[in-house]
Each structure stands twice: as C-alpha cells, then as structure tokens.
Amino acid sequence: MSVEEKTDVWQGTLALMILKTLQALGPLHGYGIARRIEQTSEQRLVVNYGTLYPALLKLEQEGYVSSEWGVSDNHRKAKYYKLTRAGRKQVEKEEREWEKTTSILARFLSPEEQ
C-alpha cells in the first residue's frame, strides 16, 4: 500500500483505539501501541507520534491509563502504558457511544433503508 493510500487516524478515535489496544494486549510502550493500531487497520492508518503522545498524556491525566518506565525488547528505556479500572469503564462507554454514532451516520449514508 502506498503512502498516499494511508489515512491519518480520525479525530476523536485515537483515544478509543489506544484504550482498545491496551485492553486487548496489556501494557505497551507508545511505539508498540502505534504499530498495533497500524497493524489492526491492515496498514490503512498511520499513527503520527505528534498526536499519539499527547493523546497518551491526556488519557493518563484523565486517569484512564497509567504509565511506568521499563525496558523494551531492544533493551531501551521506554514508558509502558496500561489500562486502569477507570480506563476499562471508559472503553465500554466509548464503545457504546461509537455504536450509537455510527448507527446515526448509517441512516444518512443509506437513506433508502429507513
């Protein structure tokens, strides 16, 4: 897939993708989160580090993730992020909101089915 075919992560969805990634895989460092989001999208999304790390910081400030320093697979110092109890509840809330939003949007995209 060429670079032109990749899409930036949509505004408002990065936090949910981060939370879902941590829910599925457990603690990860930022690079691992970015790679997993890109892998899950089958390389259709590109994660910009200029948006990833501010999103992680915001999630941490909101209490949805916590972080601690550790050592990565390649023996480098890395900050690992993990979901908190509040984060698990937030995932459920955001999933419900996403389903509601996409259901509403689907009505506009397929008006003949109404």
Question: Do the beta carbons of residue 22 and residue 29 sit within 8 Å?
Answer: no
Residue 71: enclosing H or E segment and its boundaries?
strand 65-71
The tally of domains found in the chain comes to 1
Q: Is the pLDDT of residue 10 over 70?
A: no
Give the model's pLDDT for residue 19: 97
The domain spanning residue 83 has which CATH number?
A: 1.10.10.10
Residue 73 has pLDDT above 90, yes or no: no
pTM: 0.84
Q: Could you list the residue range(s) of the whole structural domain that residue 68 is in?
A: 3-113
83: enclosing H helix or E strand: strand 77-83
Pairing of strands 45-46, 7-8: parallel
Nearest to 34 by CA among 22, 70, 85, 76: 22
CA–CA separation, 57 and 44 (whole Å): 25
